[in-house]
Structure 1
């Protein structure tokens, strides 16, 4: 009879360790390689080659930024006009928060605590994850878009 509780505990520890392994693979800084839309088209607000970074740490914290590949005019004065402010943030993604990994579902969930877009504050987004030592492919659960990231191995 003592063998059954021991087996259950071993199964729980093994599952926890597998999730921990997947989370460990994410730890680090990753540079955006490409964004593909589900329809194969690029987002015109992001341009042909947007740049970005995503960061995961060992404590469950994360941050992401994606900057569009298009000319960005400097503000004419210290404070931008509404039009200048809108142009500056269109196509720009920036948020931070915490993350959790579900190994069985092959997802990483971003628990966004702050966001450039006020509508994204305190929201949760899930991404299917496909991780290799040097690349991550993240795909939103709700669509076929795909973001490919490569591990940053040296200074930016």
Structure 2
């Protein structure tokens, strides 16, 4: 089957490495929610599972030789703000070109059990763009876009 005849779901299956993670404020200002050089990995399985890890790539901590669970809260706070991970199941609305992630496990427990929609685009055969309009941030909503490269 060629890429042009595959469904959105079929094209999603596999591993994806983050290329960029950007947002746009209502005024049009571009920002980078996880820093300008964010890293990430996205996995979709054929049996309907999804796993995501996103991070700022230049994270560090003062004592890398001490197990993270033994670090103090002052050290862990900045690390927590620069990392996001979740896993669960996914479904695809082929007509709307929307993938919905069901958060079964999540770094942020408030998101467990929620359904999160991502608008799907394939700019070319090797890239996937997932966008989230009306993504809630502090005092405003924005559109965020994650560009992924197939691995």
Shorter-chain TM-score tier = 0.7 to 0.9
**Alignment partner of 1:73 is 2:61:** yes
Query: How many Å separate the matches in 2 of 1:139 and 1:126?
Result: 9
1:74 to 1:97, Cα distance in 2 relative to 1, 3 A = farther
Shift of 1:119: 1.1
Number of the residue aligned with 2:139: none
**Alignment partner of 1:53 is 2:41:** yes
TM-score with structure 1 setting the length: 0.78
Instruction: Count matched residues.
Output: 132
How far does the alpha carbon of each residue in 1:70-99 deviate from its partner, in whole angstroms, 9 at most, with x for none?
Answer: 331154744011111212211211000000
**Alignment partner of 1:113 is 2:104:** yes
CA contact (8 A) 2:51 2:87 kept: yes
Structure 2 gaps, min length 5: 135-141
CA contact (8 A) 1:126 1:141 kept: no
Shift of 1:105: 1.1
Shift of 1:52: 0.3
CA contact (8 A) 1:48 1:69 kept: no
**Alignment partner of 1:40 is 2:40:** no
**Alignment partner of 1:148 is 2:134:** no
Query: How many Å separate the matches in 1 of 2:60 and 2:35?
Result: 12
- Structure with bigger helix share is 1
Structure 1 gaps, min length 5: 1-17
| CA RMSD, Structure 1 to Structure 2 (Å) | 1.8
- Structure with bigger strand share is 2
Map 1:120-131 → 2, pairs under 5 A: 120-131=111-122
TM-score with structure 2 setting the length: 0.80
Query: How many Å separate the matches in 2 of 1:58 and 1:122?
Result: 21
